[in-house]
Amino acid sequence: MDIRIYYEDTDCGGVVYYANYLRYFEWARTEYLEARGISVVELLKDGTQFLVVHADVDYRSPARYGEVLSVETKLTDIGRSSLTFSHVIRERASRRVVVEGSAKLVTVDLQGKVKRLDPSLVEALQAPVERGH
């Protein structure tokens, strides 16, 4: 997934504000799900939601206004009720690593009670995606 850096994404020095990378991770996870036919809206209708319970971010080099970033997202661990995604954000043209990180999500019902991942959801999460998605 590519993200163009706009003025609103930056601090007063023209560098991407550090907390925005968590937003980019979130966007990339949503794209990961959608590319596999998993709709967050449909999950909510079925009584399932994901909550981030832990996030790590390692800042490697600054991204600046006007650059385009590419976000690579992989599902690196699946537990009974949790998912861990890893993310690498690179400046698209140079492939320079900007940020690396991960997020652990827990599956809960609409009241916030932890629930097991449905086997069909696990299967969909592990499905390969055709290029172009």
Residues known to be catalytic: 11
One DSSP character per residue, 81-119 reads: SEEEEEEEEEETTT--EEEEEEEEEEEE-TTS-B-PPPH
Instruction: Evaluate whether 19 touches 82 at the Cβ level (below 8 Å).
Output: no
Residue 66 DSSP symbol: T
Q: Which of 28, 43, 25 is nearest to 108 (CA)?
A: 43
Look at the alpha carbons of 56, 40, 118, 29 in this order and tell me if their dihedral is positive or negative. Answer: negative
**Cα–Cα distance for residue pair 115/54, rounded to 1 Å:** 17
